Amino acid sequence: MTASTESFTHSRAPRPSGGPAQAVRDSLVVAKRNLIRMVRIPEVVIFGLIQPIMFVVLFSYVFGGAIPVPGHPGNDPSVYREYLMAGIFAQTVTFATAGAGAGIADDMHKGLIDRFRSLPMSRGAVLTGRTLADLVQTALTMLVLIVVAVIVGWRIHDGFPRALAGIGLLLLLGYAFSWIGALIGLSVRTPEAATSGGLIWLFPLTFISNAFVPTSNMPAFLRHVADWNPFSATVQAARQLFGNPQGAASNAWPMQHPALASLLWSLLIIAVFRTLAVRKYRSATA
């Protein structure tokens, strides 16, 4: 009796009829719901700030005088701090992937997704709303991190509009990666598994890049991988737009056109993983 009732409920689930406009409205409603939840559980946001702040302080003062930046003689800690910050910013926005995956896995585990499915709402709105809420949280984290970076000596040198463009590319990369997190969250059975699955692949992605050290001293194969890493393109673009030290020049196309490469990588990731995540969501709740 229960199985037949559930089957009937799914088959009779109301369908949205408002087209793209309703999809936008539904996504904003879900985003608002997730933002209210973040406000009511502030420790999630607070703990999310601790790790990037620790990275800023530790890398700035522990490694600041030990890692030379090509093109800048000597080991001036202030040069490395400015070189470092774009990498820390990029790491922060991409590590939000784990939170996105865990949140969606938690909603699936508690049955909230089934409740959403019983409503006449866009099927992609649940995921879109979640990723938009995560983007807002990431932007707030970035704001706090920028203040900390300024305190330890980071500065922009090419004007405020270009700096905003750099921050925009960083947030776009974070939004793109949140769709990877959404797919992971839909593919596992527990929030704990989503957190682990959302982080384990990020460490090699962020460290085989130009985020923390110049790639010129890497073995040839790793240097090639780092130069074509979407993470590296965004970091290099942010450094250019901030007017920070960029390290040794590379002949790889993404390093020669980092802003365009970053934009294309982010849009490609969104297109691919949003499609896969929405498809997974529909099959998981069918």
The whole-model pTM stands at: 0.86
Q: What's the whole-number mean pLDDT along residues 174-198?
A: 85
Asked whether residue 13 is assigned to any structural domain, the reply reads no
Domain hosting residue 48, numbered range: 24-284
Judge whether residue 227 has pLDDT over 90.
yes
Asked whether residue 231 is assigned to any structural domain, the reply reads yes
Out of 85-89, 92-96, 178-182, 232-236, which region has the weakest mean confidence (pLDDT)? 92-96
Asked whether residue 189 is assigned to any structural domain, the reply reads yes
Judge whether residue 73 has pLDDT over 70.
no
* Count of Cβ atoms closer than 10 Å to residue 4 Cβ: 8
Percent of the chain residues topping a pLDDT of 70: 88
Q: Hey, which of 45-54, 91-100, 220-229 has the most confident mean pLDDT? A: 220-229
* Helices (H), ranges, the chain: 2-11, 19-40, 42-62, 77-110, 112-117, 125-152, 160-187, 191-200, 202-207, 220-227, 230-242, 253-256, 258-284
Q: In whole angstroms, what is the distance from residue 92 CA to residue 76 CA?
A: 25
Judge whether residue 5 has pLDDT over 80.
no
Cα-based torsion angle of the residue sequence 211, 248, 234, 280 in order, rounded to the nearest 10 degrees: -70
What's the chain's average pLDDT? Answer: 82
Question: How many domains are contained in the chain?
Answer: 1
Judge whether residue 94 has pLDDT over 60.
yes
**pLDDT tens-place string over residues 7-48:** 434 444 455 555 678 788 888 888 888 888 777 777 777 777
Asked whether residue 4 is assigned to any structural domain, the reply reads no
pLDDT at position 1 is 40
Q: What's the whole-number mean pLDDT along residues 57-72?
A: 75
Find all residues with CB under 8 Å of 33, minimum gap 6, and list them: 129, 133
Q: What is the 3-state secondary structure (H, E, C) of 149-205?
A: HHHHCCCCCCCHHHHHHHHHHHHHHHHHHHHHHHHHHHHCCCHHHHHHHHHHCHHHH
Q: In whole angstroms, what is the distance from residue 228 CA to residue 265 CA?
A: 10
Judge whether residue 6 has pLDDT over 50.
no
pLDDT at position 161 is 93
**pLDDT tens-place string over residues 103-134:** 788 777 777 776 776 677 777 788 888 888 88
Q: What's the whole-number mean pLDDT along residues 221-243?
A: 93
Out of 49-63, 79-93, 236-250, 257-271, which region has the weakest mean confidence (pLDDT)? 49-63
pLDDT at position 171 is 95
Cα angle 75, 146, 39 (rounded to 5 degrees) comes to 145
According to DSSP, residue 215 is labeled G
Asked whether residue 124 is assigned to any structural domain, the reply reads yes
- Nearest partner of 181 among 103, 116, 237, judged by Cα: 103
Asked whether residue 19 is assigned to any structural domain, the reply reads no
Q: For residue 210, how many C-alpha atoms fall within 13 Å in the half-sphere facing its CB?
A: 32
pLDDT at position 17 is 53
